[in-house]
Amino acid sequence: MRYKDYYQLLGISRTAAPDEIKRAYRRLARKYHPDVSKEPNAEERFKEVQEAYEVLKDPKKREAYNQLGVNWKTGQDFRPPPGWENRFDFGGAPFGNHGFSASGGFSDFFESLFGFQRGPGGFHSQPQGRRAGPGPQRGQDEHAKIRITLEEAYQGTERSLRIQGEMASTSGQSTGNQLKVKIPSGVTQGQRIRLAGQGRSNFAHGAKGDIYLEVEFLPHPLFRLEGKDVYLDLPITPWEAALGATLNVPTLGNRVDVKIPAGSQSGRKLRLKNRGLGKAHAGDQYIVLKIVTPEADSDAARACYERMAREMPFDPRAHMG
């Protein structure tokens, strides 16, 4: 088990505020996203950034991580129970490589963070089912994360989850140990999807526990999310802003024509109702206008700007006195 300094990975101090952590994560996620990054080892760096953010954004996990301090290496010999890390996989690959990741990954975690308690002989998983008592006991629940795109959250999607070691049988559609998981349209960040009876058995003829999948959104190259509302920065030309225009812009569902009012300025927001996330009381999509000025990189372009300066005298700083 290798020690990772999550603060160093995100390029922040150990006293960083939550907003600073979020900004650092977004910056690095955009930089190393495998779909757009040309950086070497982008996919590996992207996973490390996500892992660091998962811990530091959660106050309880961050506190546990901070408390471990220099004693981190005392847990290097820890190994999970046989088969635990391979319980799930997606499409025949290890669990977490294709949109899923166990909430209790074992690369660098510890007792108070991931539900393990030290006892004779090492670490043991803490059952999350009912406490011991007479009669067959319900098996423990399991928790994991499922990572999807904003488009998948808007439209709904389906994933195949392979459960190894125990056959899925009591919910969803399953063939052998392959379980199809339906993700409903309108799902939101942090929402949990319950797969009843698909968790662990206690090996004593009791009912199986459940699996809870927590939805997490992958970073998007165009959109950003604030609650249920989706934001898109839309570059426009100075003449489109001044004269008005009708532009075809992307949304999570499809592309739509949007009218840019004449006389628009950078930062103006245009609202597309009910184009955000959520089914009941859905959010909206906001288009934020960003005026982009062409470069004066030729004699003709410079002459055009000089003519504009003569014929359209304008002082945007007049209000400053």
The model's pLDDT over 186-196, given as tens digits with 9 standing for 90+, comes to: 888 888 988 88
- Residues near 206 by beta carbon (within 8 Å), at least 6 away in sequence: 129, 135, 136, 137, 138, 139
pLDDT band at 205 (very low <50, low <70, confident <90, very high): low
State the Cα–Cα distance between residues 61 and 67, nearest whole angstrom.
Answer: 10
- Residue 86 has a pLDDT of 44
Q: pTM value?
A: 0.52
Q: Reduced to 3 states, what is the DSSP secondary structure of residue 20?
A: helix
Please tell me the least confidently modeled range out of 42-46, 72-76, 107-111, 229-233. 107-111
Domains, the chain, in order of start with CATH, read 1-69 (1.10.287.110), 79-111+138-219 (2.60.260.20), 223-312 (2.60.260.20)
When pLDDT is averaged across residues 283-287 and rounded to a whole number, the result is 95
CB atoms within 10 A of CB 288: 14
Residues in CB range of 284: below 8 A, 6 or more apart: 229, 230, 271, 272, 273, 274, 275, 276
Residue/partner pairs of 310-319 with CB below 8 Å, 24 or more apart:
none
**Whole-angstrom Cα distance, residue 179 to residue 171?**
9
One-letter identity of residue 170: T
CA dihedral 165, 103, 223, 33 (to 10 degrees): -80
Task: Report the pLDDT value the prediction gives residue 299, as an integer from 0 to 100.
Answer: 94
Q: How far apart (Å, rounded) are the C-alpha atoms in residues 192 and 173?
A: 19
pLDDT in the model for residue 247: 97
Mean pLDDT to the nearest integer, 194-201: 82
d(CA 15, CA 41): 28
Considering only residues 136 and 250, tell me which one the structure prediction assigns the higher pLDDT.
Answer: 250
pLDDT at residue 298 tops 90: yes
The per-residue pLDDT of the chain, averaged, comes to: 77
Judged against a pLDDT cut of 60, whether residue 123 lies above it is answered with no
Please write the tens of the pLDDT for every residue from 44-78. Answer: 888 889 888 988 898 888 888 887 643 444 444 44
Report helix, strand or coil for 42: helix
64 in helix, strand or coil? Answer: helix
Contact 285/275 with Cβ under 8 angstroms?
Answer: yes
Order across the sheet with 88-90: list the strands.
93-94, 88-90, 157-163, 178-183, 173-175
Per-residue pLDDT averaged across 126-143, rounded?
Answer: 61
Listed ranges 149-158, 212-221, 259-268; the one with the highest mean pLDDT: 259-268
Q: What are phi and psi of 51, to 5 degrees?
A: -60, -45
Is 225:277 a contact under the CB 8 Å cutoff?
Answer: yes
Residue 281: count other Cβ atoms within 10 Å of its Cβ.
9
**CB within 8 Å of 18: residues ≥ 6 apart:** 57
If pLDDT is split at 50, 70 and 90, which confidence band does 204 have?
A: low
Phi, psi dihedral angles at 320 (to 5 degrees): -85, -10
